[in-house]
């Protein structure tokens, strides 16, 4: 079953509000003709409002990069999924390797954030991926399967089907090193077959699996041509409107 491609830009800790507004404005213009490709951007929380204002009317979704597991309360320094939704966010990123590495997000925390996101009415993009050492030890598939099992535990079928997955090999993030299309496709196929074993067929057929890790205009087309790669989660190249638009263009059938 053909899935509608989904291209997302993770701006990470870049783009102050004025810069985010300018980038969003450029994207609104450049992405006007994108067929049915789903597009979303993830500014830093402080730039969400500016991004929403500039991108309004374009159909490009906006998401938050992380949420607290609690909608409100005495949790200094965090952001609420309910409040992000109220502001106008559609998506939340969960389990990004930078969150796992720098903020100790283990499977339990990832799972709790998916729950909080869904309860808030946000659509989670759940990131999984192995380190270089794990890949060299031949554990890439097993690591990703364990991350999925831990992340999706407790979700019913209606909830699982709302998720997007992102396979982001840690060794390919921000390094300029990209998984080859064959390497990426192999793990995507293995994720899809894990889903097939765990859920009824409509779930693996419908769920989109993005590839992330040094996606750029020069490699997007060959990655997106793989049968189980349904989109991209783009870091560095999403900070430039021209590059991001070129990646979206590569997804148009
Ligand atoms: P880069 O595209 O900069 O490698 O980042 C990928 C990523 O982490 C997207 O979430």
Distance 40 CA to ligand 1 centre (A): 14
pLDDT digits (tens, 9 = 90+) for 203-248: 999 999 999 999 999 999 999 999 999 999 999 999 999 999 999 9
Catalytic status, residue 96? yes
| pTM of the full structure | 0.97
What confidence category does residue 79 fall into, taking pLDDT thresholds of 50, 70 and 90?
Answer: very high
Reduce the DSSP state of residue 40 to 3 states and report it. Answer: strand
Whether residue 213 has its Cβ less than 6 Å from ligand 1: yes
What is the DSSP code (8-state) at residue 46? G
Position in ligand 1 atom list of the atom nearest CA 96: 10
Whether residue 174 has its Cβ less than 6 Å from ligand 1: yes
In whole angstroms, give the CA distance from residue 61 to residue 38. 8
Q: Are 84 and 92 in contact (CB under 8 A)?
A: yes
What confidence category does residue 175 fall into, taking pLDDT thresholds of 50, 70 and 90?
Answer: confident
Beta bridge partners of 39: 7
In whole angstroms, give the CA distance from residue 175 to residue 97. 14
In whole angstroms, give the CA distance from residue 33 to residue 25. 15
pLDDT of 183 strictly over 60: yes
What confidence category does residue 1 fall into, taking pLDDT thresholds of 50, 70 and 90?
Answer: very low
For the packed helices 17-30 and 241-251, what is the interaxial angle rounded to 10 degrees?
40
Residue to mutate, 95, 127, 233, 244, ligand 1, most ligand atoms under 8 Å from C-beta:
233
The pLDDT score that the predictor gives to residue 174 is 83
Whether residue 63 has its Cβ less than 6 Å from ligand 1: no
Whether residue 214 has its Cβ less than 6 Å from ligand 1: yes
Q: Catalytic residue, from 29, 168, 188, 222: name it.
A: 168
The pLDDT score that the predictor gives to residue 87 is 98
Whether residue 9 has its Cβ less than 6 Å from ligand 1: no
Q: Locate the domains of the chain by residue range.
A: 6-251
pLDDT digits (tens, 9 = 90+) for 6-24: 999 999 999 999 999 999 9
Position in ligand 1 atom list of the atom nearest CA 93: 10
How much is the mean pLDDT over the chain? 96
Q: Are 189 and 228 in contact (CB under 8 A)?
A: yes
Whether residue 234 has its Cβ less than 6 Å from ligand 1: yes
The pLDDT score that the predictor gives to residue 6 is 98
The pLDDT score that the predictor gives to residue 179 is 87
The pLDDT score that the predictor gives to residue 142 is 97
Q: Are 48 and 84 in contact (CB under 8 A)?
A: yes
pLDDT of 160 strictly over 60: yes
* CA dihedral sign, ordered 164, 169, 172, 173: positive
The CATH number of the domain covering residues in 6-251: 3.20.20.70
Catalytic status, residue 29? no
């Amino acid at each position: 079953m053909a899935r509608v491609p989904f291209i997302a830009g993770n701006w990470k800790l870049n783009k102050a509000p004025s810069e985010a507004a300018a980038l969003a404005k450029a994207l609104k213009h450049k992405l006007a003709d994108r067929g049915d490709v789903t597009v979303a951007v993830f500014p830093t929380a402080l730039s969400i409002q500016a991004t929403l204002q500039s991108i309004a009317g374009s159909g490009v979704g906006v998401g938050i990069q992380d949420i607290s597991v609690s909608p409100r309360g005495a949790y200094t320094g965090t952001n609420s999924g309910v409040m992000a939704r109220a502001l106008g966010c559609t998506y939340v990123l969960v389990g990004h390797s930078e969150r796992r590495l720098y903020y100790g997000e283990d499977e339990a925390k990832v799972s709790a954030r998916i729950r909080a996101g869904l309860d808030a009415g946000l659509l989670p993009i759940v990131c999984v991926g192995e380190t270089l050492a794990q890949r060299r030890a031949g554990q890439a598939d097993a690591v990703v399967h364990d991350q999925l099992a831990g992340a999706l535990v407790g979700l019913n079928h209606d909830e699982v089907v709302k998720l997007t997955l992102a396979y982001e090999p840690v060794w390919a993030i921000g390094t300029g090193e990209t998984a080859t299309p064959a390497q990426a496709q192999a793990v995507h196929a293995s994720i899809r077959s894990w889903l097939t074993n765990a859920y009824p067929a409509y779930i693996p057929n419908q769920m989109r699996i993005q590839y992330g890790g040094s996606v750029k205009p020069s490699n997007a087309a060959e990655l997106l041509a793989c049968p189980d790669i349904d989109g991209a989660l783009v870091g560095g190249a999403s900070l430039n409107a021209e590059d991001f638009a070129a990646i979206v263009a590569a997804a148009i059938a």
